[in-house]
Structure 1
Amino acid sequence: MNVMSLSPASYRYPNYEIRLRGKPEGNCSFMVPIKKRRDWFRISCQVARNESSRNNNDTNVSLSSRNRMEEYNTAMKRMMRNPYEYHHDLGMNYTLITDDVIVGSQPQKPEDIDHLKGEENVAYILNLQQDKDVEFWGIDLQSIVKRCRELGVRHMRRPAVDFNPDSLRSILPKAVSSLEWAVSEGKGRVYVHCTAGLGRAPAVTVAYMFWFCDMNLNAAYDALTSKRPCGPNKRSIRGATYDLAKNDSWKEPFDNLPEDAFEDVSDWERKLIKDKVRSLRGT
């Protein structure tokens, strides 16, 4: 099941809108079908107890939040060349990819950690954001990290530059190392996130599935994107695979290789990749 956790009392999806009727208070959840798709989404909402205070807060926040979202989505479409959008005002959203791994957007408040711990059995969080990403959205990261400590959730960071395929390629081995270690510990699920959960976080998860789950790149990519529509950069994953599997000085430059190079690896290459990635633990 695809899962989204949302904040407001109304939710817009392309060609679909959900509104809560009346004046509900506290937590609520419901199941909805999404038009033109056969997925069902579980929507979890936190509704303000005071209608007037909610409206005042919406007025104060909506303009600046909308401007940030428009700026971010414009950059994402230009740099990543994909049609996906991030709606920060809808709150944290995520998707269960495997039994052990969840991919999603950034937690926005300490209460999001309570939700992940209590509802999804998350024991590890792998954050791929840079400091400037967090600051852009006005999120108090320290309060989130503090709540992780209080709840016994391990918070890890492997920052990568947003919309930058070369930066993503360079951090993939260490990020996958952290993810693989957390999964191997077996104490709970791993929540992998960037800002929107549409680029860096799914790329790390696809690389993990490719390198450690005996899947080729296309199978791993299709398995993830069939559950969470997004646009992880295949070329960055192929480049990182090349970097790990081929370390001879005479090797042909990656840029000279055909487009399908390193979409799969041999058994000995996969073993080499696994050994190298595991050696990065703690670095």
Structure 2
Amino acid sequence: MGAISDTRLISSSALTSPLENGALFLSLLKKNKLSSFNLIRVSRNSFNYKRISCKLSESGIEMKPTSNEVSSSSKNKMEEYNIAMKRMMRNPYEYHHDLGMNYTLITETLIVGSQPQKVEDIDHLKQEQNVAYILNLQQDGDIEYWGIDLQSIVNRCKELGIRHMRRPARDFDPDSLRSGLPKAVSSLEWAISEGKGRAYVHCTAGLGRAPAVAIAYMFWFCGMDLNMAYSTLTSKRPCGPSKRAIRGATHDLAKNDPLKEPFESLPDYAFENTADWERKLIQGRIRSLRGT
């Protein structure tokens, strides 16, 4: 199994409200000043966690220097992305692009992880994890930002008989995720039902959009309520996907009355579970989206 990247848990911070378009966050990143945090270090070769107390200087995070092999441009991109993730998603976890692809086996048929960065990652997924389907939730801008040669990855998937699918959703945007979940889960449910190999679901870091799709699938198709599906995944892969986006998508799928009460007016626990008839309705609507 691939390595899990290091993660940091912010105990307090000064954060502003989310931006409407994730692509606009870069110009505002350096305005944030974090006060303190705890670092949860995850071994690159195991699932063992170690909590380390850390401090911040007035100018920013005090960090040990990394390998000279990591370019300053790559470091800046990772720093920008992680700060954006914390402010936009209230997500305390970090993505370390320089450590390569990382992933977690959630069920025997489902893997959630970060973006494959090169064709060798596709070879690894095929040979080591029997992956037969890849569901990519990134927008074109995400892929370009990290300099990924997507076409070479798609071509390698074809050569190895892996079905590569895309269901883009905007990063750091719960509303975009909410609207995109039904089609993304439709693709995932179809892949798993085909039974030809494991399905690999990824976004950029595998901490927001991808786990949300996996949790929604487990909620709608695996007989779990939302809290059980959420805790099942996050206990294996520490992350912070938007539970509200999943609840909102469940509301949208389960109700067909044009005069229904708006989701925004419902209590926070609404649609954490569904009645049997609602679950069947959701499953039918999800399956009807195949091929769209």
Normalization by structure 1: what TM-score? 0.83
| Match among 189, 205, 211 for residue 196 of structure 1 | 205
1:212 equivalent in alignment to 2:221: yes
Aligned to 1:54: none
Give the SS at the match of 1:248. coil
Task: Write the distance in 2 (CA, Å) between the matches of 1:238 and 1:143.
Answer: 36
Amino acid at match of 2:2: M
| Match among 112, 125, 129 for residue 121 of structure 2 | 112
* Cα deviation 1:43-102 (Å, max 9, x = unaligned): xxxxxxxxxxxxxxx747520100000000010000001210000000000000011000
Number of equivalences: 247
Amino acid at match of 1:112: D
| Match among 33, 36, 40 for residue 48 of structure 2 | 33
| Match among 40, 64, 68 for residue 73 of structure 2 | 64
Q: CA deviation at 1:250?
A: 1.2
Task: Write the distance in 1 (CA, Å) between the matches of 2:218 and 2:173.
Answer: 21
1:237 equivalent in alignment to 2:235: no
Aligned to 2:185: 176
Aligned to 1:227: 236
Task: Write the distance in 1 (CA, Å) between the matches of 2:130 and 2:243.
Answer: 30
Structure 1 residues 168 and 184, CA gap change in structure 2 (3 angstroms):
same
Task: Write the distance in 2 (CA, Å) between the matches of 1:76 and 1:222.
Answer: 21
Matches within 5 A, 1:42-191: 59=68, 61-191=70-200
Aligned to 1:22: none
Task: Write the distance in 1 (CA, Å) between the matches of 2:69 and 2:49.
Answer: 30
Task: Write the distance in 2 (CA, Å) between the matches of 1:75 and 1:16.
Answer: 20
| Structure 1 runs, 4 residues or longer, greater than 2 Å off | 3-6, 11-18, 29-36, 58-61
Give the SS at the match of 1:102. strand
Task: Write the distance in 2 (CA, Å) between the matches of 1:156 and 1:136.
Answer: 20
Q: CA deviation at 1:16?
A: 5.0
Task: Write the distance in 2 (CA, Å) between the matches of 1:66 and 1:34.
Answer: 23
Task: Write the distance in 2 (CA, Å) between the matches of 1:183 and 1:101.
Answer: 8
Structure 1 residues 33 and 61, CA gap change in structure 2 (3 angstroms):
closer
Structure 1 residues 132 and 212, CA gap change in structure 2 (3 angstroms):
same
Amino acid at match of 1:247: N
| Match among 259, 269, 278 for residue 260 of structure 1 | 269
Aligned residues with identical type, % of pairs: 73
Q: CA deviation at 1:4?
A: 2.7
Task: Write the distance in 1 (CA, Å) between the matches of 2:236 and 2:150.
Answer: 28
Q: CA deviation at 1:35?
A: 2.5
Q: CA deviation at 1:31?
A: 4.9
Q: Is the 8 A contact 2:6 2:94 kept in 1?
A: no
Q: CA deviation at 1:252?
A: 0.5
Where do 5+ consecutive residues of structure 2 fail to align?
8-38, 52-66
Give the SS at the match of 2:82. helix
Q: CA deviation at 1:17?
A: 8.3
Where do 5+ consecutive residues of structure 1 fail to align?
19-28, 37-57
Q: Please, what is the CA RMSD of the aligned residues?
A: 2.0
Aligned to 1:4: 2
Task: Write the distance in 2 (CA, Å) between the matches of 1:157 and 1:32.
Answer: 29
Structure 1 residues 32 and 252, CA gap change in structure 2 (3 angstroms):
closer
Q: CA deviation at 1:134?
A: 0.4
Task: Write the distance in 2 (CA, Å) between the matches of 1:270 and 1:12.
Answer: 37
Q: Is the 8 A contact 2:6 2:96 kept in 1?
A: no
